Structure 1
Amino acid sequence: MEQQERLQVLKDIVNIDSTNGNEEAVADYLAKLLKKHGIDSQKVQFAENRASLVSEIGEEGKRVLGVSGHMDVVDAGDVSKWTYPPFEATEKDGKLYGRGATDMKSGLAAMVIAMIELQDEKKTLSGKVKLLATVGEEIGELGAEQLTSEGYADDLDALVIGEPSGPQICYAHKGSMNYTVTSYGKNAHSSMPEFGVNAIDNLMLFYNEVEDFVASVKDTNPLLGNFTHNATVVSGGNQVNSIPELAKLQGNIRTIPEVDNEKIQQVFADILKKLNAEKDVKLELVWDYDKLPVFSDKDSDIARIGQAAYERRTGQKIQLVTAAGTTDAAEFIKAKKDFPVIIFGPGVGEMAHQADEYVSTENYNDMIEVYKDMMVDFLSEK
């Protein structure tokens, strides 16, 4: 493809408003584009107007390289803060602006175009490249969870997630857990609190117990750093002179192998059991989001190949790093066999979810060439 045609593909999918849904429109666009170049695809339906997309090039061989990107984007927020409309991709001064330009439709488009160009060039591949384009990454890695449970990742020998990385290659990231605790009390007039049960007071019992546990954690990971917990949403009561009968707290946890998801679930269960044994305390806990840490090998073939391909293309050496944020990799690593994972894509993470989100068009074009080299080189190695 010419560079302008490559850019048009990205513009077209940025113009599709796939805010926390409607990914099927993106999947249909990509499937049609791939079909135009002789590449078949399969939609995997998740819900109405929501479908992931699976596509392959190459032939049966010793290796399968997975490449993955998500098709959903976060809400554009206050549109008045945008210089250009978020769903009208705008090219200006070497940048393409639009919601999802960085996170992560540029990575997804670059992977698709790399596959198309290898197909058009009739490049011999000693194995297969498998595209896994997912729904719902921003709200729970829903598509990756479905594709993994249905076996689409079971044949992978390595996986590249095209999230914006910097330019850096990320080979490990923390796990992520979200929870909601609901405290049930009893209404009463604030002048007669003895006739009620204050749901906020009981919720604070839980919060204090959790904070005591967090303060007791001394474990750290030499690569990922510390386990963290943050209470992020609190609500309760409806009138200043009434004892509140309901209160809720939501929190986010970033886990490391030393303080993993299973341990956190047990600690929280023990806290609830202890508190609910007290008089007038009724707390309920729901885990809204539970994603494992990803801990891959920084010396893996795919990491080394990615570094070499980027340096050949740009003349720049790039670092291998770890990250706090989670990705679809947290679901894909649950496949039946182990494989190395890297997060490597156009754009910088700091632009994700921001007003005036953009990607450098030069970086986008560079990464298409980098992905092509990575696909060929990984499948060529014995």
Structure 2
Amino acid sequence: MKRFTEAEKLQILADVIAIKSVNENEIEVANYLKELFAEYGIESKIVPVTDTRVNLVAEIGSGKPVIGVSGHMDVVSPGDESEWTSDPFTLTERDGKLYGRGTNDMKAGLINLALTMIELKENDELKKGTVRFMATTGEEVGGAGSKKLYEEGYMDDVDYLWVAEPSPSTIIYSHKGSLNLRVTSTGEAAHSSMPHFGYNAINPLMAYLLEMDEKLNGDERENDVLGKLVMSTTIFNAGNQVNSIPEKAVAEINVRTIQEFDNDEVIDLFRKTADKYNADGAKIDVEVTMSLPSVFTTGESDMVELTKKLGKKHLGLDIDVKGSPGATDASNLLRDKGDDFPFMMYGPGETKMAHKTDEYVYKDYYFAFFDIYKELILGLTK
């Protein structure tokens, strides 16, 4: 009977943490996992997304139900590495915690899924159904990997989906969408002593952004689970010299959307408001750089109920079931699924540690999730 030892589980995680898949280079992670699966007779497929970025899909079992399990291979930049207590790309254990960029978000969950599949296959424990492993690229920036999997039909026959993002004490069953827009205002340069010979690109853009902020953040529509839509202007660039009128100003905006005020309506409002300003002499252009819809499910499924029991059994935690303001690959993977589709986000780590310096996952949680995921798969396919 195949059971990975704790030392093997730690070494495999260390190998993957050492791969610097910072918003790129996921192909090295995919190749590592592909070779690991091949050692145990599991076929996997590299799914190209761009010239340099790929997904990885692997399956065990056959027939129904089809359980989709997913995690992303990219991580965010470690930032100033001198601020880390230890090398961010060397798995380091201190006080029961495993430190390294991606330990929490979300290579620990990804390895939990992969090794669980290997053990199930090696021990012939999966007597019924299919488990489809979907490792994605580009989740941290744009979700291109999950969009490709959706477009190529990998979710068409899936009956359950969970994403192994960090959330050990809370099952996330719905989350807000995420919409990024780049708004450019074009003016005409001039000397600041003679502004009437030019057109200051900043002025109409500032007024436009304040109006959009009032329209969106002041909207009273609210989702019972996710709350209200939230708009934030996060980047503003303009001008290159203090005594010159700027001919260009660019702002970038992130909007966290809800079903009641969705991405399409927000985009339409941005564009119609720009048209109004342009009719008065401005030159404002709106570009959508990312659009991930909100995910709304009922949270009522045998998968969620079983997971609550397993969380209590293996972690000693009373598991909450909630919505989240953050977005995941489920925005793309669930585009055609109804509100009653069984979905959850549940994995080792802590949500609050995502993207932080000295990112870590509790070692005990990392080990416990192997048992949770295995018993969950077997419980859903019995």
Which TM-score applies when normalising by structure 2?
0.96
Q: Confirm or deny: 8 A CA contact 1:158 1:341 kept in the other structure.
A: yes
**What code does the residue aligned with 2:108 have?**
S
Q: What's 1:350 paired with?
A: 352
The number of residues matched between the two structures is: 378
Q: Does 1:235 align with 2:232?
A: no
CA root-mean-square deviation:
1.3
**1:270 Cα offset (Å):** 1.1
Provide the C-alpha distance between the structure 2 equivalents of 1:127 and 1:260, rounded to a whole number of angstroms.
35
Tell me the residue number matched to 2:297.
296
TM-superposed deviation, 1:292: 0.5
2:52 is the alignment partner of 1:40: no
SS at match of 1:367: helix
1:67 equivalent to 2:42? Answer no
The 8 Å contact of residues 107 and 164 in structure 1, kept in 2 or not, is answered as yes
Amino acid aligned to 2:328: T
In 2, the alpha carbon distance for the partners of 1:167 and 1:203 equals 43
Letter of the aligned partner of 1:282 in structure 2? K
Distance 2:126 2:193 in 1: 80
1:102-117 aligned within 5 A: 102-117=104-119
Q: Which moved more, 1:225-234 or 1:208-217?
A: 208-217
Contact 2:61 2:128 in 1 (8 A): yes
Amino acid corresponding to residue 14 of structure 2 in structure 1: K
What SS does the corresponding residue of 2:381 show, helix, strand or coil?
Answer: helix
SS in 1 for 2:124: coil
1:266 CA displacement: 1.4
**Where in structure 1 are there 5+ consecutive unaligned residues?**
none
Structure 1 distance, partners of 2:119, 2:360, is 24
Q: Check conservation: 1:167, 1:346, Cα contact below 8 A.
A: no
Secondary structure of the equivalent of 1:47? coil
| Deviation, structure 1 residue 336 | 6.8
In the other structure, the counterpart of 2:17 is: 14
TM-superposed deviation, 1:112: 0.5
Shift of 1:312: 2.5
Distance in 2 (CA, whole Å) between partners of 1:303 and 1:260 is 26
The answer to whether the Cα contact below 8 Å between 1:59 and 1:125 also exists between their aligned partners in 2 is no
SS across alignment from 1:295: coil
- Tell me how far 1:38 sits from its aligned partner: 1.6
The residue correspondences of 1:1-382 to structure 2 (distance < 5 A) are 1-60=4-63, 62-279=64-281, 281-335=282-336, 339-380=341-382
Q: Structure 2: how far apart are the matches of 1:216 and 1:134?
A: 36
1:49 & 1:35 partners in 2: Cα distance?
22
CA distance in 2, matches of 1:117, 1:312: 21
**Range 50-59 or range 307-316, more displaced:** 307-316
Q: Structure 2: how far apart are the matches of 1:127 and 1:253?
A: 39
Q: C-alpha deviations, 1:333-359, integer Å up to 9, x for none?
A: 124777321000000011111111011
So what's the TM-score if we normalise by structure 1? 0.96
Report if aligned partners of 1:149, 1:335 keep a CA contact under 8 Å in 2: no
Contact 1:167 1:347 in 2 (8 A): no
Spell out, residue by residue over 1:194-243, the C-alpha distance to the aligned partner (whole angstroms, 9 max, x if none).
11100001111211220231254111111101111111101101111111
Contact 1:179–1:250 (Cα < 8 Å) also in 2: yes
For 1:87 and 1:163, the matched residues in 2 are separated by 19
The AA in structure 2 aligned to 1:46 is V
